[in-house]
Amino acid sequence: MEERLQKIIARAGIASRRHAELLITSGQVKLNGRVVTELGTKADPAKDRIEAAGRVVSAEERQVYLLLNKPPEVVSAMADPEGRKTLRNCLRGLPERVYPVGNLEYNASGLVFLTNDGDLAAKMLKDWDYVEQVYQVKVKGMLTLADLERLGKEIGAYMKVVRQPDATRGRAANFWYEVHMSAAKLEGMRRLLMKERHPVEKLKRIGLGPLSVEGVPRGRYRMLSSKEVEDFRHIKKTPRKPAPKEKAGVPGARLHDRPAH
């Protein structure tokens, strides 16, 4: 079956669909030995010979889906012009080329989703602002339960306390909180906490849609099951509803059992 070249190249894991388009327009793609520069060009990977950036596209390319626990001070990309560590440093031994979907800032740690499935990557990027993300956030000082409720409403997020790693030793001066929100609200949360004189000191993403980083050591990854991929593929384009009051950090709410790190 014929498909657009950029879609075939992305599905093969050679480049993202956007990068595949750049490869085509810059003359780095050949179809049956002829350079192609038109984005609308179609081909059948089962019959045609397709070369992109010097690599032959295989119709049998295995699609890979994995979850990586990114350490801090690692660029959330496969290459960095400044020579800093990238996700590639955490993927040694993986034969397939994969690419991160979405971004996680340099100093943050936690969950990154990677795949060579260009169709799913394009869908996820299109729906990115509708994908719920869960963060553990360490701030300067301590927020009260009333603060959590007020700030959560202002940000449009669900905030709660988590068990503090140093609380039992009496050393917890700056506290961790769990925040459920979309990617679009992250910068707003950071600005608001700065305004409240509780700037963000550390940030860790522990959840992305139905995925959780729990059980994956820092700097390591695991392959996703078929069910996890299907759950991730069918995330509904619906913003998260506000959490009920009894779970939003009001008096009587229990501390979460999962510790911050």
Domain 129-212+236-259: give its CATH code. 3.30.70.2040
CA–CA distance, 104 with 101 (Å, rounded to integer): 10
Q: Is the pLDDT of residue 14 over 70?
A: yes
Lowest-confidence region among 28-32, 40-44, 92-96, 175-179: 92-96
DSSP letter string, 109-165: EEEEEEES-HHHHHHHHHTGGGSEEEEEEEESS---HHHHHHHHHHHT-EEEEEE-T
Q: Over range 16-23, report the average pLDDT.
A: 88
pLDDT band for position 246 (cuts 50, 70, 90) = very low
pLDDT for 61 equals 65
The per-residue pLDDT of the chain, averaged, comes to 84
Strands 158-163 and 256-259: parallel
How many of the other CB atoms lie within 10 Å of CB of 44?
Answer: 12
Q: Is the pLDDT of residue 41 over 50?
A: yes
Torsion angle in degrees (nearest 10) through CA of 96, 236, 129, 72: -40
Lowest-confidence region among 12-21, 35-44, 72-81, 234-243: 234-243
Q: How far, in Å, are 20, 103, 168, 205, 243 from residue 111 at the CA level? A: 26, 10, 27, 5, 23
Q: Is the pLDDT of residue 257 over 50?
A: no
Q: Over range 231-260, report the average pLDDT.
A: 49
pLDDT band for position 248 (cuts 50, 70, 90) = very low
pLDDT for 150 equals 95
Strands 34-35 and 55-56: unpaired
Q: Is the pLDDT of residue 252 over 70?
A: no
Hey, CA dihedral for 206, 108, 68, 71, is it positive or negative?
negative
What are the extents of the domains in the chain? 3-56, 129-212+236-259
Superfamily of domain 3-56: RNA-binding S4 domain (3.10.290.10)
Q: Is the pLDDT of residue 36 over 90?
A: yes
Would 3-56 and 129-212+236-259 be classified into the same CATH topology? no
Spell out a b/e string for 149-177, using b for 16 or more CB atoms within 10 Å of the CB, else e.
bbbbeebebbbbbbebeeeeeeeeeebbb
Lowest-confidence region among 4-8, 60-64, 78-82, 164-168: 164-168
CA–CA distance, 151 with 158 (Å, rounded to integer): 9
**What confidence tens digit (pLDDT) does each residue in 123-145 have?**
888 888 888 999 999 999 999 99
Indicate whether this model's pTM tops 0.75.
Answer: no
pLDDT band for position 219 (cuts 50, 70, 90) = very high
